[in-house]
Structure 1
Amino acid sequence: MLHLHSESTKRWLHQVDNHLDELLLDHAHCERKAASTAMNLMNAYTENLDICEEMARIVEEELEHFFMVVEILKKRGIPFRRIAPGPYGRNLTGLIRQNHPDRAVDRMLVASLIEARSCERFRLLAEHVKEREPELSEFYAGLFESEARHHTTYVRLAEHFVDRETVRQRLAELSKLESEIIAEGSDMPRMHS
């Protein structure tokens, strides 16, 4: 369902154990960036009302998630602040081809893979902290469905630009490359490190 070629490693769960506060802070930024991505796509393809409607829904949900994470930060006494982004998003967006319609397809599919990886990480996080942080576990388990829906929405919207088979082939290519990027990881504790 998520079109990922790999699963997260124990290395990431070790970062969860040692840097949960920073991961939560990064998660807030991820939600904000996801809303911004959806708004940018809405602006780029404004003549396509299906894309506009779907992006508007995603913007709304991502901003809602942003404020939910900010509320968790407040409860934990973690001030919301800027942090350096990890290399994952930059490396993944670096794979986007520049010519039309390839650029449109890749923008949608890169967004879909980020959502898919978030979905996988949220499920892992929910399971990993279930015993010691039941409220946090419940929160992350609750995000799974919307992230999975965003993933499939982006894949479907890529079909506005090329046929389904071409989308599936490119998704497989990008997914393989995404798994290489996530395997490289980062020393910075991030949702996608």
Structure 2
Amino acid sequence: MINLSAYQSLLAPIEQFLLCSTPNTWIQEASKEDNLPILLIDHMICELKAAQTAAWLIRKYAVDKQSGEILLTWLAPYEKLIYRKEGCLQDLANSHQDISKKLTLRENCPYSYDLVDKMVMLIKEELHHFYQVFDIMQQRHIDYQNISAGRYAKGLMKYVRTHEPATLVDKLICGAYIEARSCERFAKLAPYVDDELANFYISLLRSEARHYQDYLTLAQQIASDDIGQRVLLFGNVEAELIMLEDNEFRFHSGTPINNK
């Protein structure tokens, strides 16, 4: 049995931040052997989406056009694998690089350094996690297949305001909830899967917890006033998405309708 007691100090703030726990019915569904391929595939896609979101934030708000192209090139091998089913582990391994020194910060943007600093680290870690999931899939002879996106991220983004800097602040808060929920689910699921997967999920906890904190820190830094009410709004939306019945199983899906 996996012992998570050593991680309680890390998980406690996340459990307090989230307004609901993952339902046991989701854990039961996620731990079924038949659902392992979809769980791993969606997890891998989520890692890419997290990296893409961070890269978009940097390109949109913090760096010049040439630097934005560097970020797109960094992501290209991963997107090629997901969207065109082309590439291999070695292609991904070759793409790992330190690009921080190559990025030129946009002038007159007071938060550009902090945004780039935190988001580049997030991209590095999410792409490494993508590589790790893909490696596990290959070892288990699980082929990648295209799957539809769940409703979770879109459900959060519906409430993002459409004027700046409110748009950026809200997107950062959404990012915090997505990372916090991921961390919580890795911890919840670890005791119910085989040792290799359990150890992998536990190895992700510290980075996911830091990502959620980084998103929140940036959101408060950029906002002109306290973000407490926006955090609460998105917290309620996030909890509703998790607790409502969901007929599609995904890593961030809600309560399964047909749990048998």
Does 2:167 correspond to 1:151? Answer: no
Residue number in structure 1 paired with 2:24: 10
TM-score, with length taken from structure 2: 0.70
Report if aligned partners of 2:190, 2:198 keep a CA contact under 8 Å in 1: yes
CA distance in 1, matches of 2:249, 2:196: 21
1:29 to 45, 50, 61: 45
Q: Aligned AA for 2:250?
A: R
Secondary structure of the structure 2 residue equivalent to 1:159: helix
What percentage of aligned pairs have identical amino acids? 36
Report if aligned partners of 1:45, 1:52 keep a CA contact under 8 Å in 2: no
Q: Equivalences for 1:131-146 in 2 at 5 Å? A: 133-146=194-207
Residue number in structure 2 paired with 1:98: 162
Deviation at 1:76, TM superposition (A): 1.0
CA distance in 2, matches of 1:116, 1:187: 23
Deviation at 1:187, TM superposition (A): 2.1
Report if aligned partners of 2:180, 2:212 keep a CA contact under 8 Å in 1: yes
Secondary structure of the structure 2 residue equivalent to 1:166: coil
Deviation at 1:185, TM superposition (A): 4.3
Residue number in structure 2 paired with 1:189: 249
Residue number in structure 2 paired with 1:68: 132
Give the aligned CA root-mean-square deviation in angstroms. 1.3
Name the larger-Rg structure: 2
CA distance in 2, matches of 1:101, 1:143: 31
CA distance in 2, matches of 1:95, 1:20: 32
Does 2:183 correspond to 1:119? Answer: yes
Deviation at 1:186, TM superposition (A): 2.2
CA distance in 2, matches of 1:128, 1:136: 9
Unaligned 5+ runs, structure 1: none
